[in-house]
Each structure stands twice: as structure tokens, then as C-alpha cells.
Amino acid sequence: MLFIIFSLFPSLAASANDLRFAIVPKFYGVFFDQSGNGCKDVATQIEGVECVYRGPETASVRIQDKIIEQLINEGIDGIAVAITQSKFLAENSLQQAKQAGIPIITYDSDFDALTLEKYKDLRLAYVGTDNFEFGMALGEQLKILRPNGGTLIIQSGRPDSPNLNLRIMGVRTALSGKKYASPPGQLLLNDQGWTEVREPFFNFDQLTRAVRQMESVMKGQPIRADSFIAVGGWPQNNDALYRKMIEPYKGKLDRKEMVVVLSDASAPQLAMLRNHLAHVNIGQNPYEMGRQAILTLLKIVKKQKYEEVIHTPLNFCSPDNYDTCTKSSPMTHYD
């Protein structure tokens, strides 16, 4: 929330006493490492507080689970975790953390609705993007670029990822105008002029696979579509590979024979926008997620009032504003 700002730090510093808080990402990478930076930067400004940023090298719920167990055994004072698979984590390491009296919050990716209902008190707060609204934003940007509808392929990470399924449902809601009972909604079939030509591509957080999937769409073989949305930043997170893949199709992008709307807005992604290698990037704020996660855990431990849900802002980036789009967030810049 906007009122959680640096001016609060003196009062927090006075009550902090050798506390270690962990940020556990889904995996190390361009996006999640920014959350680690936010966590570490804010910790250096609060006396007696340490940020531990630790996660898998590649996406694996079992490794993530083992890392959380390790942190519990080390006596960590609080855990913020980006949920890879809700049921597995809730029934294993996070259950152990709760039994040990360690406060748990989620960031970036929350538990799915069923897990939240079953384990009501397992996590105390969520910090991150409103994932349904993020998906809506992706869909609305596509509608602006292709107002008469078209054919679409969506790319996601895992079929069981709760935050990504919310984003897919948001995309489908924006394009169809329908409300769905549960994520990820239903495949579009001539809904307000939009049709998904296949089920989403799932890349399982493998960047090379993500680029190859997108390349098949750009080629139009074996499946043809005129629009592509990725609900995460995977294809662009390997800068060199993405550029090599997309350059031959730059003419198709320029003529909008293919419209590309992608998630996240890291510095390399903004450089790709500058070079017109995508039409729109919608950026999240992982740095602020890491910052707010530490502040929230500290308040929980100190039995202070805290926000149970903190939604971090989105940035809308295009080739016209790539150099300014990430600089206007009220939660990242302070006087």
C-alpha cells in the first residue's frame, strides 16, 4: 500500500532484533532476482534485519520444498514464497513451518482458491500482482491493437500454476466479455470475434522451449494464428535467443500480421521494444514485491497492523514510451 514508505523505517528499526526473513522464488531468473534485490535493499535499512534470498536454479516444487525445509531447520523467522504448486507445498514444508510457528506469506504467486479454503490460516498475507487484472490488461492491450478480433495462442508456464491460470482467465475475460466460474476459464471460440486456435502452450519455465513455441507461431506452422500473448516473460528472458528467433519476422510485426503482447518489462525487454521486436510489454514490479514482503513479515513478527493483500502496480510499455514506462510507479520512487 502507498502508506508503507521509508518514513516508517525508524520505528521499525527500533524494534528489530536479529531477524532473518527468507524470500523463496519459484526459480532464479531475471524476474525473481529483482524481488531478491528489493528484499536485500530494504533489509539493509532496518537494523537487525537480514534478507535471505534462496530458491531453485530451475523451477521445481520439490527443490523449492526442500529449500523451505532447510530454512526452517536454520531457524528462519519468516518466509515469503512464490507458490509453484499449491497442494504440495501446503501439505509439506509450509505445514512444517506453521507448526514451528514461522509466519508464512506468499508473493508473486498465491495459493489457489481450494488450498486457501482448506488451509485458511496457513499464509497470513499476499504481496504481488493482481493476477486476474494483469491478464485483463494483457487482453485489453491486444484488443486495442486488433480491435476486430482474431485468432490467438496463449503461452503459459505450468498448467497447475495458480497465478498463471488467473492471468489466462483474465485474458479470456477481457476478450470474450464473459465471467468464468474458476481459472483458467474456457477456450475462446468466436467469442466477440476471438478464437483460440489451440490450448495454451506450456513451457514449464524452460526458456529455450518458450522461444521455440513462439517461433512456431511466428512461422504459422503447423498452427496459424495472428495474435500471441505470453502471461509471463519466458520467451524474452533469453535475450540473444529471442532476438535471433524474432528478427526474421520483424516485417510481420511491423505490418501487424502478427501481434505480440508479452509480460514483464526488464531492461533487456525494454530494449527489444525499442527495436520494435514486440508490440506491448506489461511490466510487474518484482522489486517492490521483495520490499513489501520483508516489511510485511516484520510487522507480523512485531505484532503490528499489516495489510493482508498488497497489490503491486503494473507498467504499460510500448515502442513509444519504453524509456519512461517503468519510471512512473508511485511504489518504486520516493522523495
Tens of pLDDT, residues 159-211: 999 899 999 999 999 999 999 999 999 999 999 999 999 999 999 999 999 99
Cα 329 to Cα 45, 106, 163, 262, 288: the distances in Å are 21, 22, 22, 19, 10
Q: How far out from the chain centre does Cα 287 lie?
A: 11
pLDDT of residue 17: 55
Distance CA 278, CA 264 (A): 12
Distance CA 221, CA 307 (A): 48
Q: Judge if 213 and 301 occupy the same domain.
A: no
CB pairs under 8 A, 24+ apart, for 33-36? 34/266, 34/286, 34/287, 34/290, 35/82, 35/107, 35/108, 35/286, 35/287, 35/289, 35/290, 35/293, 36/290
Cα 293 to Cα 80, 92, 135: the distances in Å are 6, 22, 23
- Least Cα distance to 149 among 197, 100, 193 occurs for 193
Is 50 a member of any domain?
A: yes
Q: Judge if 120 and 206 occupy the same domain.
A: no
- Least Cα distance to 30 among 309, 281, 316, 323 occurs for 281
pLDDT of residue 328: 54
Distance CA 334, CA 319 (A): 26
pLDDT of residue 89: 97
Is 325 a member of any domain?
A: no
Q: Judge if 141 and 270 occupy the same domain.
A: yes
pLDDT of residue 304: 97
Could you tell me what percent of the chain has a pLDDT over 70? 93
CATH label of the domain that carries residue 146: 3.40.50.2300
Is 333 a member of any domain?
A: no
What are the tens digits of pLDDT across the range 38-76?
999 999 999 999 999 999 998 899 999 999 999 999 999
Q: Which amino acid type is present at position 333? A: H
Is 322 a member of any domain?
A: no
Instruction: Give the chain's domain count.
Output: 2
Q: Judge if 122 and 208 occupy the same domain.
A: no
Domain range for 237: 131-283
Regions of the chain short of the pLDDT cut 50? 1-16, 329-335
Q: Judge if 165 and 200 occupy the same domain.
A: yes
Contact (CB, 8 A) for 137 and 169? no
* HSE-CB for 248 with a 13 A CA cutoff: 8
Q: Judge if 148 and 275 occupy the same domain.
A: yes
Is 335 a member of any domain?
A: no
Q: Judge if 162 and 274 occupy the same domain.
A: yes
pLDDT of residue 26: 94
Q: Judge if 294 and 275 occupy the same domain.
A: no
Is 327 a member of any domain?
A: no
Distance CA 143, CA 146 (A): 5
| Extended beta strands in 54-130, E state | 78-81, 104-107, 126-128
Is 328 a member of any domain?
A: no
Distance CA 117, CA 131 (A): 18
Dihedral of CA 219/222/227/230: which sign? negative
Q: Judge if 137 and 263 occupy the same domain.
A: yes
Q: Judge if 221 and 250 occupy the same domain.
A: yes
pLDDT of residue 99: 96
Domain edge (last residue) among 263, 283, 303: 283
Q: Judge if 31 and 55 occupy the same domain.
A: yes
Is 60 a member of any domain?
A: yes
Q: Judge if 27 and 63 occupy the same domain.
A: yes
What DSSP element (H or E) covers 316? strand 315-317
For 30, other C-beta atoms within 10 Å of its C-beta total 18
